[in-house]
């Protein structure tokens, strides 16, 4: 186990996240017809809203709403269609629960519109590489900003999965993403980092990054870990559908908590809340002298 610094992350609309005392659970709400993990079961307004509210009832601390699949090989989604999918869901959830709503997008206009309707966090899988104006939009909105590590676009990311030092290169490239954000005007204390399991990483790379997750602590930003149902788990579990990878996800989530993650992003909220509670109890059983960052 490794120490975990505490942070207070300002969000849009005057809200904030206190991170570090316990691990927060972010529920994944894919409003897409082609999600790799849930088969598009929430690609309907009423079902999406009901699923988001159920996640909160099951213990989710944050709901992450996404309208575009970014799985390897996915085609880009037109902006107007993404807006059509996510905005009504974001607005209804923001009005129907106190849980912070995150918008999973790399498009500045989608981010702006979602924050205007109640989202308080922007979750960018590109680390500000796909839309140069997203950093400015995040700065203007006052939203929290999650920066994920990746290389290239969905269709060609595996061609760029060439590393000599996976943890070191991921850390260096996340540091560059932080620099991009701050140059765009995003306050450093609003930034959370995500190593991006499975994105421009083959299975062995994802395991190596997870095993060295604690190394990202030197970037002095909260860490989000998102191993849920990812394909790298198949190298151990064997071929099975994503929703049959929950036991493997549980192991990866436990490792994430013990190695210093502040937030875990998951599909099976109810099950993973239990996993996180036990992992956090293990952390609490050991005395830490971890720094606090406001």
Q: Is 230 a catalytic residue?
A: yes
By residue count, the chain amounts to 294
Catalytic residue (one of 4, 22, 117, 230) = 230
Q: Which residues, 6+ apart, have CB-to-CB distance to 238 below 8 Å? A: none
Catalytic residue (one of 265, 270, 281, 286) = 265
Q: Is 201 a catalytic residue?
A: no
- Residues with catalytic function: 230, 265
């Amino acid at each position: 186990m490794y120490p975990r610094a505490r942070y207070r992350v300002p969000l849009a609309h005057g809200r904030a996240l206190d991170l570090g005392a316990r691990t927060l659970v972010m529920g994944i709400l894919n409003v897409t017809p082609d999600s790799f993990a849930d088969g598009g079961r929430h690609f309907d307004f009423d079902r999406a809203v009901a699923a988001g509210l159920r996640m909160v009832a099951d213990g989710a601390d944050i709901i992450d709403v996404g309208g575009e699949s970014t799985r390897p090989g996915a085609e880009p989604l037109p902006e107007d269609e993404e807006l059509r999918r996510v905005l009504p869901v974001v607005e209804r959830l923001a009005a129907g629960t106190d849980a912070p709503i995150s918008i999973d997008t790399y498009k500045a206009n989608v981010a702006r519109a979602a924050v205007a309707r109640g989202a308080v966090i922007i979750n960018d899988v590109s680390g500000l590489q796909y839309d140069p104006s997203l950093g400015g939009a995040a700065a203007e909105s006052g939203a929290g900003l999650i920066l994920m590590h990746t290389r290239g676009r969905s269709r060609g990311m595996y061609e760029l999965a060439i590393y000599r030092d996976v943890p070191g290169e991921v850390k260096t490239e996340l540091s560059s993403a932080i620099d991009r954000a701050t140059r765009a005007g995003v306050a450093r204390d609003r930034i959370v980092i995500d190593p991006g399991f499975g994105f421009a990483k083959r299975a062995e790379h994802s395991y190596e990054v997870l095993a060295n997750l604690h190394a990202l602590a030197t970037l002095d930003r909260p860490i989000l870990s998102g191993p849920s149902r990812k394909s790298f788990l198949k190298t151990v579990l064997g071929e099975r559908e994503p929703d049959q990878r929950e036991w493997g996800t549980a192991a990866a989530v436990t490792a994430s908590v013990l190695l210093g993650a502040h937030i875990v992003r998951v599909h099976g909220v109810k099950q993973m809340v239990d996993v996180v509670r036990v992992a956090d109890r293990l952390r609490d059983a050991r005395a830490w002298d971890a720094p606090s960052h406001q």
